[in-house]
Amino acid sequence: MLFLWLYMFYSCAGSCATRGSPVAREESSSGEQQRVPAAASPISSFFNGSGTKRLPQAIIIGVKKGGTRALLEFLRVHPDVRAVGAEPHFFDRNYERGLAWYRDIMPRTLEGQITMEKTPSYFVTKEAPARISSMSKGTKLIVVVRDPVTRAISDYTQTLSKKPDIPTFESLTFKNRTTGLIDTSWSAIQIGIYAKHLENWLLYFPIGQILFVSGERLISDPAGELGRVQDFLGLKRIITDKHFYFNKTKGFPCLKKAEGSSKPHCLGKTKGRTHPDIDQEVVQRLRDFYRPFNMKFYQMTGQDFGWD
Q: Which of 53, 64, 65, 140 is catalytic?
A: 65
Neighbours of 28 (CB within 10 A): 15
Residues 6+ apart with CB under 8 A from 185: none
Burial track 104-115 (b if 16+ CB lie within 10 A, e otherwise): eebbbbeeebbb
- Consult the annotation and say whether 196 binds a ligand: no
- Consult the annotation and say whether 115 binds a ligand: no
- Consult the annotation and say whether 271 binds a ligand: yes
- Consult the annotation and say whether 236 binds a ligand: no
Q: Would you put residue 210 in left (φ > 0), alpha (ψ -120 to 50) or beta?
A: beta
Q: Is 193 helix (H, G, I), strand (E, B) or coil?
A: coil
- Consult the annotation and say whether 146 binds a ligand: yes
Beta bridge partners of 142: 60, 211
- Consult the annotation and say whether 272 binds a ligand: yes
Residues 6+ apart with CB under 8 A from 277: none
- Consult the annotation and say whether 82 binds a ligand: no
- Consult the annotation and say whether 154 binds a ligand: yes
- Consult the annotation and say whether 66 binds a ligand: yes
Residue 274 gets which letter from DSSP?
Answer: P
**Is 65 one of the annotated active-site residues of the chain?**
yes
- How many whole angstroms separate alpha carbon 108 and alpha carbon 36? 16
Question: What is the set of active-site residues?
Answer: 65
Residue numbers in the known binding site are 65-69, 146, 154, 271-275
Enumerate the known binding-site residues for 3'-phosphoadenylyl sulfate: 65-69, 146, 154, 271-275
